[in-house]
Amino acid sequence: MKKLFNGRFSTLYSVLSLYVFLSFIIRIVLMIWSLKDLDFNLLHILRAFFTGFVFDFTIGCLFLSLYIIYVLVLPKRWVGSLFDKCFTYFYLTLIFIIIYFSLLAEIPFWDEFGVRFNFIAVDYLIYTYEVIENINQSYPLPLIGAVLVGLIILTFVSFKKVNVFKKTFSDKSSFRTRFLYAFPVLAIAVFLGFLMKNKIADFSNNSVVNELGKNGAFSFVAAFRSNELDYETFYPKLPEKEAYSIVKKNLLQENQKYTTSKYDDISRFTLGNQEQKPNIILIAIESFSADFLTEFGNKDHITPNYDQLSKESVFFTNLYATGTRTVRGMEALTLSVPPTPGNSIVRRPDNENLFSVSSIVQSKNYHPYFIYGGDGYFDNMNTFFGGQGFDIVDRDRGNPLPDNIKTQRFSITDQEVSFENAWGICDEDLYKQSIKYADKSTKDNKPFFQFVMTTSNHKPYTFPAGKIDLPQGDRNAAVKYTDYALGKFIEAAKTKPWFKNTVFVIVADHCASSAGKWEINIHNHHIPAIIYNLPHQQERIDRLTSQIDLMPTLFGYLGWSYTTSLYGKDINQTKQGDERAFLGNYRTLGMLKGNVFTQIDDRKVVKQFSVSSDRSLSEIKTKNNTDISQTISYYQTASVRFKNGKMKAK
């Protein structure tokens, strides 16, 4: 062992040892960080740490593979030369930047998402403006940069002090000797690089244990390589006709009938009564957990306006978001579809002209708008909404719409902005855009449907000064400002002639946090929703409801007759006992029905859990096969229908 650190390869093995050691320290830090959600099973924890060590060693070898080849093939007469030293120091500087940055970045990522780097981190590489600005506004970048530089300098000084470089640049061993040291590391790197998969770490029901067994850099690469997941390849399936038969049986409401007898056609005609056609403003509030409301036990009184509106509205108290990201909320509210595996449909190619809520409102002669305070290029929003016929209102930072998108785009000018951060303009300014285009549609004598996406309740949690009594930079403060802006918007809307004939659907896109003990944490999908200003008395809906059911339920209140291919249902036309909610997190998919949660994943593993009153889970050994078949049928048909183009509007 001593020979490894006393020759030409001393730098190589020193860096590899340092990386494995630091990764172990980070693993300890993350474990302590999540003690409240950790399953204290000693064997599972030891297995996670061993698996993590193998991942650390693998990625460490891969980091250094180019340097291994360099040390192996460099002629011994060049050892210790200026070229040798320059290349070594340059390569090590790059490696240390990658190592220290990735290890340090894991801590805030874990804090926000409760997992190692995943597809979210990969997505952030695409949208550099928002991400860099968010980091700049959320963290002290000069200090982080200084720490990074300091760590690199300290490492070089330490290596020099223990003569690591002296040994590297003085040992002129033969090619045969170098080969004996280099080949095993290269062989192990290649072998483990192909063998190791993140799925190996997913051996328990505890999400924290599973994530501890992974490596952040390896997880990032794995997410980059598998940014799409094909349902038919990776997930449990039923025979196609059986899957459609189950879905069609469960989709049909008491006021619906199928339009054809084709086994794979889910189009239904919905019979309404006394149809009304008010304007519709759908507000998706960023990261607005049910926990923020007084109704659900919050004692901080940070949502007085939403609390009051809920008492004057149809209030959904038991509604669950399909996912943990904005694009999933958008997908649920517009396409009314379960969260299929991999990327949200909002971010996928060939997602234009899908049957959506927009298809239904446009059939009623509504003018649809998508209103967003940032640049809708982010997360492919403009392409998606434009592809469904929405006119776009956004900040427009110079990213053009694709040529195949024929809708109009209206830019929010600098003169219309009083405050802006990395993600977009403040909610007050955004709501002024909503009023502006509501006025325009009213002037044109055209009913309007607006999808308004807020951003103020997002890190860095900044907003205009002097609006509320809490300091900026804090989640509670951002929630209170978000609620304040909503209250001001409703006040302003009440002064408009179109207010009396306008319905407001106000719902969260997802919860503020997704971290927790289980692969899917049901409590962290619980969101509030209200339908305000209906010509209907105030009502509480305590029945289990999915985010995909919200718009079909609205159409039911409006008495609309229409044809639908949506997976969502009008909760008021759903039989008692048939309520269900769909929850997913990219790889793992589930259905909540009653007090049973059925979960499927990309290893074709099916699990069922009993759900307690506080939404904690305990695995069931005797499975409910009816729920399993229903879960599989929904996700299988939704995935296949998008893949094969059957979600397209006819």
Domain end call among 225, 259, 275: 225
The structural domain count of the chain equals 2
Is the pLDDT reported for residue 406 higher than 80? Answer: yes
pLDDT at 372 over 90: yes
In the block, tokens 């469960």 appear at 250
What does the angle CA 49 – CA 50 – CA 51 come to, to the nearest 5 degrees?
90
Residue 633 to residues 75, 307, 593, 611, Cα–Cα distance (Å): 62, 38, 14, 22
pLDDT digits (tens, 9 = 90+) for 474-509: 999 999 999 999 999 999 999 999 999 999 999 999
Q: What's the pLDDT score for residue 516?
A: 87
Question: DSSP letter at 575?
Answer: P
Residue whose structure tokens are 């009938």: 257
Main-chain phi, psi angles of 144, to 5 degrees: -60, -45
Is 56 labelled a binding residue?
A: no
pTM for the full predicted model: 0.88
How far is the C-alpha of 113 from the C-alpha of 473, rounded, in Å? 18
DSSP codes joined into one string, 242-259? HHHHHHHHHH--TTEEES
Q: How far is CA 263 from the centre of its chain?
A: 33
Round the average pLDDT of the chain to a whole number and report it.
93
Strand 424-425 and strand 539-541: the pairing is unpaired
Query: Could you tell me if 531 and 448 lie in one domain?
Result: yes
In Å, what is the CA distance from 222 to each residue of 18, 117, 225, 254, 361?
Answer: 23, 9, 5, 46, 40
Structure tokens at 453: 């996406």
Q: List CB contacts of 586: < 8 A, sequence separation 6 or more.
A: 118, 119, 229, 341, 342, 343
Same domain, 390 and 487: yes
233 is catalytic: no
Backbone angles phi, psi at 411, to 5 degrees: -85, 140
313 lies in the same domain as 352: yes
Whether residues 408 and 513 share a domain: the answer is yes
Q: Name the band, by pLDDT with cuts 50, 70 and 90, for residue 199.
A: confident
**What's the pLDDT at 142?**
84
Among 204, 225, 246, which residue terminates a domain?
225
Condensed to tens digits (0 to 9), the pLDDT of residues 69-127 reads 999 999 989 999 999 999 999 999 999 999 999 999 898 888 877 888 887 777 776 66
3-state SS, 59-126, equals: HHHHHHHHHHHHHHHCCHHHCCCHHHHHHHHHHHHHHHHHHHHHHHHHHHHHHHHCCCCCHHHHHHHH
Instruction: Look at residues 225, 253, 285 and tell me which one is the last residue of a structural domain.
Output: 225
Q: Is the distance from CB of 379 to CB of 326 less than 8 angstroms? A: yes
Residue 543 has pLDDT above 90, yes or no: yes
541's enclosing H/E stretch is strand 539-541
pLDDT-wise least confident of 6-10, 38-42, 129-133, 275-279:
129-133
- Which two tokens mark 608? 């069922």
Which amino acid type is present at position 511? C
Which amino acid appears at position 187 of this protein?
Answer: A
Residue 222: its pLDDT value, please? 83
Burial group, residue 107, by CB count within 10 angstroms (0-12, 13-18, 19+): middle
Residue 485 and residue 436 share a domain: yes
Is 199 inside a domain boundary?
Answer: yes
| 322: Cα separation from own chain's centroid | 10
Q: What is the pLDDT of residues 639-648, one digit of tens each?
A: 999 999 999 9
User: What is each CA distance from 11 to 157, 163, 276, in whole angstroms?
Assistant: 13, 10, 75
Residue 593 domain-assigned (yes or no):
yes
The two structure tokens encoding residue 384:
């998606």
pLDDT in tens, 587-609: 899 999 999 999 999 889 999 99
Give Cα separations from 316 to 24, 335, 503, 572 (angstroms): 45, 20, 15, 12
Question: CA gyration radius for the chain?
Answer: 27
**What confidence score (pLDDT) does residue 113 get?**
79
- Shared domain for 200 and 310, answered yes or no, is no
In tens, the pLDDT along 137-175 reads 777 778 888 999 999 999 999 999 999 999 899 988 888
pLDDT score recorded for residue 293: 98
Confirm if 585 and 599 have CB atoms less than 8 A apart.
no
510 annotated as belonging to a binding site for a ligand: yes
> Do 625 and 536 have their domain in common?
yes
Candidate list 324, 326, 545, 574, residue with the active-site label: 326
Task: Give pLDDT, residue 169.
Answer: 93
- Asked whether residue 55 falls in the same domain as residue 90, the answer is yes
Evaluate whether residue 649 is within a structural domain.
Answer: no
The Cα-based distances of 548 to 336, 538, 544, 580, 585 in angstroms read 4, 22, 12, 10, 16
Which candidate, 533, 536, 459, 445, places its Cα nearest to that of 489?
533
Alpha-carbon gap, residue 330 to 324, rounded angstroms? 11
pLDDT at 377 over 70: yes
Q: Does any domain span residue 399?
A: yes
Which residue's structure tokens are 């008395």? 537
Tell me the backbone φ, ψ of residue 285, rounded to 5 degrees: -90, 130
* Domain annotation covers residue 648: no
> By C-alpha distance, which of 325, 343, 321 is closest to 583?
321
Residue 201 included in any domain: yes
> Measuring CA to CA, how many Å separate 427 from each of 97, 281, 467, 482, 616?
37, 15, 12, 7, 34
Cα distances from 556 to residues 277, 357, 612, in angstroms, run 12, 13, 31
* Confidence band for 128, pLDDT divided at 50, 70 and 90: low
Q: Are residues 448 and 428 in the same domain?
A: yes
In terms of domains, do 190 and 244 share one? no
Q: Tell me, what CATH number does 316's domain have?
A: 3.40.720.10
Q: What gap in Å lies between CA 619 and CA 307, rounded to an integer?
A: 36
Indicate the residue type of 193: G
- Regarding whether 208 and 322 lie in a shared domain, the answer is no
User: Largest Cα–Cα distance in the chain?
Assistant: 91
Encoding tokens for residue 181? 């040291």
Once rounded to an integer, what is the mean pLDDT over residues 259-269? Answer: 97
Tell me the H-state helices in 114-230: 119-126, 128-138, 141-161, 164-170, 175-195, 207-212, 216-225
Which tokens go with 306?
């939403």
Q: Residue 594: beta bridge partners?
A: none
DSSP three-state, residue 315:
strand
Range of the domain at 542: 234-643
3 state SS of 319: strand
Provide the pLDDT for residue 193: 86
> What crossing angle do the helices spanning 427-443 and 475-494 adopt, rounded to 10°?
20
Check whether residue 246 and residue 168 sit in a common domain. no
Q: What pLDDT, on the 0 to 100 scale, is given for residue 126?
A: 67
What average pLDDT does this structure show over 514-529?
Answer: 93
Number of Cβ within 10 Å of residue 158's Cβ equals 12
Is 525 annotated as belonging to a binding site? Answer: no
